[in-house]
Structure 1
Amino acid sequence: MLIWPTVEGIVSRWFKFDESYSHGLLLLLVSVVLVARTLKRELPVPGFYPLWLVPFALALLAYGLGNILRVQALQELTVVPLLLGTLAIFLGWKQVRPFIIPVGVLFFAVPVWDYLSWTLQLITVETNRLLLGLFDIEFEVEGVFVYLIGVGTFEVAHGCSGLRYLLVGQSLAALYGELNLRLVRSRVLFFLVAVVFALLANWIRVFVIIYMGYETNMQTSLIEDHDNFGWWVFAATLVPLFFIGRKLELTRAEQANPVEAAPAAHDRLGGRKIWVGVLVTAALPVLLFILLPSSAGQIKPSPDTFDFSLDGERYAPLFRNRLSGWRPQMRNPDLVFAQTLFDRQAVTGETGPDQQLFVGVYSYEHQRHRAELVQYWNRIYDRDEWVPEQFFRVKSPSDISLQGVTLRSFSSGKRVHLAYGYYVAGLWETDQWRAKFAQVVSFFSPRTDASLIIFGVACDQCDGEAAVGELVKDAMPPLVSHVDQHFRD
C-alpha cells in the first residue's frame, strides 16, 4: 500500500501520550462511529464518478512530490484528502458531503500542526509580556525566555505553545457542529470561538504559572504540575464555549424547519462499471509507486573527507572542530570538510589571532531517508544554545548571495558571524524550502549532490559582517571548484 508508511508514522505519534497527538486514537474511534452513523442515515448508493479521479490524482501527485522532496508533512497532509477523494469517486459530491466532517476530523490528529508551534510560542510570550506589564513585576523577555529579575527564568517551550489545547478544541468544535448545528455559518462561528478559547486557556495557564513563580520565589507546585493545571484551565473554558454553542442552537435560523431536499436519483450501475472504477482507482497509486524514485539507500557509518585544505601562506589551522562552541548540526552526510583557521595576516604581537575562522562543507551524494540536506535534524545552530541577533547578506566573488547571521551564545555571550548557502545540483539557494524544491531538478540532472557550504568568524573587536565577507571572498572560489570537480568526475 503506497501510503501505509505514512499512516504507520501518524499512528505511531498517537501512542506517544505525552505529545500533542495523543487524542488521535480516540478521534479515530469517534470518526468510525460518525461514519457508521452517516451510512445508516444517508444510505448512499455506490457508483462510479470518474470526474473525481482528477482531484484524487492531484492528491497522489502531491504525495509523490512529498516523497521526492522527503517532506513528510506534505505526505501526511494528503492522507485525509485521499480518503475523501476515494469516497467521492464512488459516491459523487452530493453523497460524499455528509462524510466530510466524520472523516475530516482525523485531520486534527495528523502531526503536521507542529509547524504552528513556534508561532504559538511567540504569541504566548507576547501576550504574557502584555499581561505582566499590568503588574509591578520587573522582567525581561528575550525570544521564548521570560526573565523575572532576581527570581528566575521561564522558557515558553514547545509544550507551552498551546498546540495540544488548540487541536483538542478544534476537534471538539468540529464534532459539536456536526452533531448539533445545521448551518455552515453557525459551525464556522463556533469553530472560531473554540480556537480563541483554546488559545486563551494556554495564555492564562502560562501567565498564572509565571505570576505564581514570581510570588513564591519559584517555589510553587504549579511549575512541576503545569500539565494537569493546564487541562483544568482548558476544561474551565469549555463551559462558556458550550454555552455559546447552545445559544447558536437556539437561534431562529437554526430552529427554522429545513427545506427537505428531494432525494437524489442514483443510477443503479452494474457491478462491471463499479469494478472498472475500483481498478482505475487502484491503478493510479500503483503507477505512482512504480514511477517514484527509491528513497532507500545505505547510510555511511562515518562520512568521507574531502581531499582539500585551506592551509597555505595566508591561513593556518587551529586544530579545533568548533568555533567558540558553535558548529552546524548535520546528520549522516556522505562527505565533510570542516576546518578551523586563523588569518596569519591578522596576527599582531604575541597575543595570538584576534579572529577565529571556520569553513565547512557537508555534502550528500544523493537524497534519501535520514540522509538528506534539508531535514528536521539538520540545523545551522542549536536553538537551545544560540540565538540569532542580526541577519545580513554576503556577496561572493561570483555574485552569489549567501545568507548571513550573527549568533549569540546563551551561556557565554560570545558571538559568531556566519554566511552560508545550499548548493544543490549546481544551483545556489539560501532558503531551506527553495533548496528542497531544487532537489526536484536533480532528478533531471546528471548531478544528484546537495551540500551546505558555510563560513564563520568569531571575534571580539571586529566588524563581523565584513570579516565573514572577506573570508567568503578568499575561500569560496577554490572550495566550490573542488566540490564541482568531485561530483562531476
Structure 2
Amino acid sequence: MNREGILGRGVVRQLLPYLVMLFGVVLLVLPTLEGVVSRWLKLDESYSHGFLLLAVSVFLTVQAVKRHPIVAGFYPFWLVPLCLCLLGYWLGGLIRLQALQQLTLVPMLLSALAVLMGWRQVRWLIIPVGLLFFTIPVWDFLSWNLQLITVAVNKFLLGLLDIDFEVEGVFVYLIGVGTFEVAHGCSGLRYLLVGQALVLIYGELYLSRVRSRVLLFCCGVAFALVANWIRVFVIIYMGYETNMQSSLIEDHDNFGWWVFAATLVPLYFIARRLELQDEKCESNTSTETTFVQERKAVGVSLGVVLLCVGVTYAALPDKRSSVLDQPKSYGIDIQERYAPVFGAQLAGWRPQIQNPDWAYAQTLFDRQQISTDGSLDEQFYLGVFTYEFQRHRAELVQYTNRLYDTNLWVPEQFYKVPSKLNIPIQGITLKSLATGEKIHIAYSYMVEGRWETDQWRAKLAQVLGFFSERSDASLLIAAVRCGDCTPQESLLNFVETTFPQSVSSINQEVAGLSD
C-alpha cells in the first residue's frame, strides 16, 4: 500500500470516534435541529446567516485541528457537564420548552468533545464550535429589550431637534406626520448577531491574547448597536422631512446593512491595532503537550458518551409528534345572542396562528344590535386556538404566530381590558395601512391553567406548568369593528359574554384528553 493510502487510513481512524459521537448526538437532537434549520431558511429573519456561519465554523475547526493536533482519550470529569446538558435537554422535552432544548445544543456538543479530548485540547475548539450559538434562535428573547433601548436612544436624539413627537412603548408618533413602530426587525438583533460572529472570527484568526479578543468583542457589540440606532434615527428623520414619502421607509433593510457595513470600517482599524499589539507580545516558546492515544481509553470514552445519549433519547417523551393538517373544531355555544357572518376575518384582519390542534374562528354580529334597516353597526370576531401540548411547529408562542400582519396593520393604542372575569386581558387598537379603518382587539394566553398577556411570560409559564397536570396552551382573542358605538365598551361586553364559554369548551376538551 502506498504512503497516501496509509495516511488516509490513519486520518479516518483518528476521526472515527468523533464521527460516531457526533452521529449519536445528532440523532438525539434531530427534531430540535430541524426547528433551528427552518429558521435559517427564512432569509428575511435574524438567523439567515446560519448556513454561512456553519461553514465558517467547520473551516475554523479544521484550521484549529491542523495547528493543534488532537488525540482522543477518556476524561471522565467532563461527563458532569455533559450529563447536565442532557438533563436540560430532557427537561426541555418534558415541559415542552423548545428554547431550553436549543440552549443546550452547543454546550452539549462541546461537553461531548471534552470527554474525548480533555480541556487542554478542547479549548482550541471553543470559538470555532461556539460560533454556532449565534445561529440558535434563542436570541429573540433579547429583541424586546433591544427595541426599548433603540426607542430610548432615538427619543434622546429626536429631542435634540425641533421635532414635535411623542413616544409610547415601541411607537414614535410624529405629530401631524405619521407613526413609526420600532418592531422586532428594528431591534438590531440581526446586526448584533452578525457583528458578534465577525469579531469572534477575526479574533480566532488573528488575535492571540484573550484581552484583545474580549476588547474587540465589546467593540463589535457596541458598533452593531450604534449602527441600528443610526439606521432607525435616519429613517424616522427622513420620514419627518419628506412627510412619510422617503424611499428609505420601504427599503429600510438594505439601508440598514449599508450603515452596518460603514461601522465595520472603524472596527477594522481597532482590530488591526490589537493584532499588531499581539504580535509584539507573542512568545517564541512552545507549550504544546504531546498526547498518546490509547484505544482502550477511546473505546471507554465513546461508549460512555453514547450510553448517556442513548438513555436521554429513550427517556424523551414524544420524540416526533405529528402536526394536524386541519385543526379540530370547537363547538362554542354563543348562538343565543351572537349569529355568524360569512367569513373568519374582520375588515381583512385575523390573527396568524399556525398548526393549532383545536380552533374556533368566526365573525359574528349581535342579534340585539341590528338596526331598523337591517344593517350591522357592529361586527365581532372570536378566535380560540389551542395546542394539546407544545412541540416543534405547534407552539403557542412561536415566531410565525402573530396577532396581526405588520405589513397591513399598525397598532395605535395599548390598554388593559378591565373585565369582571378576574383574568388579565390586553387590548390593542389597530389601524389598517390600506384603508385607515380601525378595529379593537382583546386577547389573553392560557398556558396549562395560567393566564398571561405577555408572550415571554406565556413562554415561561410552560416551565411552571411542569407541576401541573395540564399540558395545553390556548390563545383567546376577541375583536370588534363598529361605527357609532363605543368600541372599548362593546369589546368589553363581547369579551365578558364569550370568554367564559370559550374557557368552558377548552376545559371540556382537556378533561377529555386526560380521561
When the two structures are superposed, what TM-score results if normalisation uses the length of structure 1? 0.78
Residues 294-344 of structure 1 deviation map (CA, whole Å, 9 limit, x = unaligned): 2545544433433342233xx242525345554433333333334555556
Mind listing any 5+ residue stretches in structure 1 that lack a counterpart? none
Summarize the alignment of residues 292-311 of structure 1 with structure 2, pairs less than 5 Å apart.
292-294=316-318, 296-311=320-335
The secondary structure found in structure 1 opposite 2:352 is coil
Residues 351-403 of structure 1 deviation map (CA, whole Å, 9 limit, x = unaligned): 97765554443233444443443333333344441416233264555xx4232
In the alignment, does 2:294 pair up with 1:277?
no
Q: Is the 8 A contact 1:364 1:451 kept in 2?
A: yes
Summarize the alignment of residues 73-472 of structure 1 with structure 2, pairs less than 5 Å apart.
73-117=99-143, 119-120=145-146, 123-124=149-150, 127-128=153-154, 130-132=156-158, 134-135=160-161, 161-208=187-234, 230-249=256-275, 255-256=280-281, 270-294=294-318, 296-312=320-336, 315-317=337-339, 319=341, 321-323=344-346, 325-338=348-361, 340-341=363-364, 356-384=379-407, 385-387=409-411, 389-392=413-416, 394=418, 396-397=420-421, 400-411=422-433, 412-422=436-446, 424=448, 426-433=449-456, 435-436=458-459, 448-458=471-481, 468-472=491-495
Q: State the identity as a percent.
A: 53
C-alpha separation in 2, matches of 1:22 and 1:482: 40
C-alpha separation in 1, matches of 2:331 and 2:441: 26
1:34 positional shift: 3.0
Q: 1:358 to 1:207 in 2, by over 3 A?
A: closer
The secondary structure found in structure 2 opposite 1:402 is coil
The secondary structure found in structure 2 opposite 1:294 is coil
Q: Is the 8 A contact 2:417 2:426 kept in 1?
A: yes
1:51 positional shift: 2.2
Summarize the alignment of residues 21-40 of structure 1 with structure 2, pairs less than 5 Å apart.
21-40=47-66
1:404 aligned partner, one-letter code: Q
C-alpha separation in 1, matches of 2:498 and 2:35: 43
Q: 1:428 to 1:196 in 2, by over 3 A?
A: closer
Mind listing any 5+ residue stretches in structure 2 that lack a counterpart? 1-26
The secondary structure found in structure 1 opposite 2:425 is strand
2:297 aligned partner, one-letter code: K
Q: Is the 8 A contact 1:396 1:472 kept in 2?
A: no
Residues 150-182 of structure 1 deviation map (CA, whole Å, 9 limit, x = unaligned): 888877666555444333322221123334444
The residue aligned with 1:480 is: 503
C-alpha separation in 2, matches of 1:154 and 1:479: 35
C-alpha separation in 2, matches of 1:163 and 1:2: 29
Higher mean alpha-carbon deviation, 169-178 vs 127-136, is at 127-136
Residues 184-243 of structure 1 deviation map (CA, whole Å, 9 limit, x = unaligned): 333222211122222333444455566567767888776787666554543432332232
1:49 positional shift: 1.8
Residues 33-57 of structure 1 deviation map (CA, whole Å, 9 limit, x = unaligned): 4333333443444322222122212
Q: Is the 8 A contact 1:417 1:464 kept in 2?
A: no
C-alpha separation in 1, matches of 2:502 and 2:121: 61
1:58 positional shift: 2.2
1:278 positional shift: 0.5
C-alpha separation in 1, matches of 2:79 and 2:51: 30
Q: 1:16 to 1:371 in 2, by over 3 A?
A: closer
Q: Is the 8 A contact 1:347 1:353 kept in 2?
A: yes
1:13 positional shift: 5.3
Q: Is the 8 A contact 1:162 1:202 kept in 2?
A: yes
1:348 positional shift: 8.6
Higher mean alpha-carbon deviation, 131-140 vs 91-100, is at 131-140
Higher mean alpha-carbon deviation, 219-228 vs 354-363, is at 219-228
Q: Is the 8 A contact 2:426 2:453 kept in 1?
A: no
The secondary structure found in structure 1 opposite 2:401 is coil
2:304 aligned partner, one-letter code: V
How many correspondences in the alignment?
482
Higher mean alpha-carbon deviation, 10-19 vs 83-92, is at 10-19
1:281 positional shift: 0.7
1:240 aligned partner, one-letter code: P
Q: 1:100 to 1:468 in 2, by over 3 A?
A: same
Residues 44-86 of structure 1 deviation map (CA, whole Å, 9 limit, x = unaligned): 4432222212221222233334445555544443322122112
C-alpha separation in 1, matches of 2:267 and 2:511: 63
C-alpha separation in 2, matches of 1:445 and 1:471: 30
2:265 aligned partner, one-letter code: V
Q: Whose relative contact order is higher, 1 or 2, with alpha carbons under 8 Å and at least 6 apart? A: 2
C-alpha separation in 2, matches of 1:194 and 1:350: 66
C-alpha separation in 1, matches of 2:113 and 2:137: 23
C-alpha separation in 2, matches of 1:295 and 1:483: 25
Residues 383-425 of structure 1 deviation map (CA, whole Å, 9 limit, x = unaligned): 441416233264555xx4232313232443524241434153x
Higher mean alpha-carbon deviation, 463-472 vs 279-288, is at 463-472
Higher mean alpha-carbon deviation, 190-199 vs 128-137, is at 128-137
The secondary structure found in structure 2 opposite 1:373 is coil
Q: Is the 8 A contact 2:364 2:380 kept in 1?
A: yes
When the two structures are superposed, what TM-score results if normalisation uses the length of structure 2? 0.74
2:429 aligned partner, one-letter code: L
The secondary structure found in structure 2 opposite 1:2 is helix
Residues 1-49 of structure 1 deviation map (CA, whole Å, 9 limit, x = unaligned): 1224444554565566665445444434443343333334434443222
Q: Is the 8 A contact 1:304 1:334 kept in 2?
A: yes
The residue aligned with 1:50 is: 76
The secondary structure found in structure 1 opposite 2:198 is helix
Q: 1:39 to 1:27 in 2, by over 3 A?
A: same
Q: 1:206 to 1:297 in 2, by over 3 A?
A: closer
Q: 1:10 to 1:360 in 2, by over 3 A?
A: closer
The secondary structure found in structure 1 opposite 2:351 is coil
